[in-house]
Structure 1
Amino acid sequence: MKFKLIEKVMQERGEVQAQQKAFQDEYLTARDELTETKALYERTLTESVSAGQRPDDKALDALSDKISELTRKAERTGRAYEVTTHSLRPKTANDEVISAWNGEYLHQYTTQVIAPKIDAANAARDAYIDAVLAVREAEQAYETERMSVVFTLDPRNDLHNTVIYKLHKINPASAILLNSDDLHSINGGHRPAAYSTGGK
């Protein structure tokens, strides 16, 4: 399940960034052209005077007019770019996204994705408990039979019983019970290392 509203926000952000870049490019072009024109003005004036010639007033006036025009353009486009960086925003407000996430999306995700997995986990937990209790019941039946054999062979119920320690006990539940490390791994979103063969 995807939170589709964020895709709309990302698209809007892309559009805003494209607009901001367009204003920035226009400003940088005007600024660079202004710098080049000022340099050309200085070069034209300096070369004429250094050569002992009278500057070409017509050419310098044209460059001066262009410098004035480019100055206005650089100021105008620079201010426009500055305004876009502060005021141009995606149409979808953050509060709208937060409200949509915490409302409809959270409800849908909880009911459609989380709830079925919780139901499956609860069913697995109940089956696990039943299986462990069945093992314990079988273990207890074994122990009852073992003690019956012990007291049949040697009826003494004390430390002098010669058979009680010779008939082996079993503890099958120890092989299937989850320990605290297992539970810690599971709670951290990982399969316990002892059970890694089953995949994640």
Structure 2
Amino acid sequence: MKFKMLDTLIDQKAQLQSGFDAMAERERQAKENYHAKKAEYESTITESVLSGADVTKDLDKLAKEIEEAKTAYERRVHERNIYSAARPAEKISSDDVVNAWNNEYVPEFNKKKRDPALNKLISVKRAYAEALLEYKGIIREFDNEKYVVANELGDSYRYQLKDVSFNFTREREKFTLGAHDLRSLESGKVPDYWNHHEELNGVGK
């Protein structure tokens, strides 16, 4: 389930950055033009000194252009600072995102995803506990009956009577959940040995 406001925030950041980049580029061009005019002024005055030519008009014209370029550059700097402070493309704040996450997304996620999963877990937990207790009761019933038969036959026959409880660890692992199973499942993994049991193979896939 996607948190849609995140896309809005990402798009907003992109718009803000695009606007800032445009402002920065205008500032860079204005600064470049300003320094170019100053360099042209210095070059012109140097040539006039070396050549003896009268370039007063040119210098006056360049001085005016320098002042205009400087004003334009300072304006661009001011515009960028205003844009950075005002952030006109910013329609949602980080606080808005947190509020939407906590008060809109999380409740909806719980209702649609988490709560159904928890209900399934509690149902399965109850069913497992009841099945295990039923099995334990059946084994007690069997053991009681076996005890009566063994006492009647005598010790020489006691160990010849078959049992029905789990005989091997692998059999117990197949039908019950142990600490290792729970640790693996809590970490989001299915115990490897489950693949050895046809009834459990493929769980989680």
Please give the range of the TM-score, normalised by the shorter of the 2 chains: 0.7 to 0.9
| Closer, same or farther: CA 36–166 of 1 in aligned 2, 3 Å | farther
In 1: Cα distance, 2:137 partner to 2:30 partner? 87
- The alignment partner of 1:92 has SS state of coil
Q: Deviations over 1:167-188 (max 9, x none)?
A: 5653254543323343233333
In 2: Cα distance, 1:165 partner to 1:40 partner? 112
- 1:132, 1:173 within 8 Å by CA — same for their partners in 2? no
- 1:45, 1:55 within 8 Å by CA — same for their partners in 2? no
Aligned to 2:121: 121
| Closer, same or farther: CA 174–3 of 1 in aligned 2, 3 Å | closer
Aligned residues: 193
Whichever residue aligns with residue 74 of structure 1, its letter is Y
What's the offset of the Cα at 1:19?
1.9
| Closer, same or farther: CA 181–74 of 1 in aligned 2, 3 Å | farther
In 1: Cα distance, 2:127 partner to 2:184 partner? 21
Whichever residue aligns with residue 140 of structure 1, its letter is R
Instruction: Please say if 1:111 is aligned against 2:111.
Output: yes
| Closer, same or farther: CA 175–148 of 1 in aligned 2, 3 Å | farther
Aligned to 2:199: none
In 1: Cα distance, 2:32 partner to 2:160 partner? 97
What's the offset of the Cα at 1:72?
0.9
- The alignment partner of 2:65 has SS state of helix
- The alignment partner of 2:190 has SS state of coil
Q: Deviations over 1:51-70 (max 9, x none)?
A: x3325233332222221111
Which is further off, 109-118 or 82-91?
82-91
What residue ranges of structure 2 are gaps of 5+ in the alignment? 196-201
Q: Deviations over 1:77-133 (max 9, x none)?
A: 112212222331612233333333222322221111211111222222223223323
- 2:26, 2:76 within 8 Å by CA — same for their partners in 1? yes
| Closer, same or farther: CA 152–84 of 1 in aligned 2, 3 Å | same
| Closer, same or farther: CA 178–29 of 1 in aligned 2, 3 Å | same
TM-score, with structure 2 as normaliser: 0.76
- 2:174, 2:194 within 8 Å by CA — same for their partners in 1? no
Aligned to 1:10: 10
Aligned to 2:23: 23
In 2: Cα distance, 1:145 partner to 1:175 partner? 26
Instruction: Please say if 1:69 is aligned against 2:74.
Output: no
Whichever residue aligns with residue 175 of structure 2, its letter is I
| Closer, same or farther: CA 175–152 of 1 in aligned 2, 3 Å | farther
Q: Deviations over 1:130-183 (max 9, x none)?
A: 3323433443344344434433432xxxxxx45555656532545433233432
Whichever residue aligns with residue 153 of structure 1, its letter is L
Instruction: Please say if 1:60 is aligned against 2:59.
Output: yes
- The alignment partner of 1:198 has SS state of coil
What residue ranges of structure 1 are gaps of 5+ in the alignment? 155-160
Question: Counterparts of 1:13-162 in structure 2 under 5 Å?
Answer: 13-50=13-50, 52-54=51-53, 56-88=55-87, 90-154=90-154, 161-162=155-156
Q: What's the C-alpha RMSD, in Å, of the aligned pairs?
A: 2.8
- 1:132, 1:176 within 8 Å by CA — same for their partners in 2? no
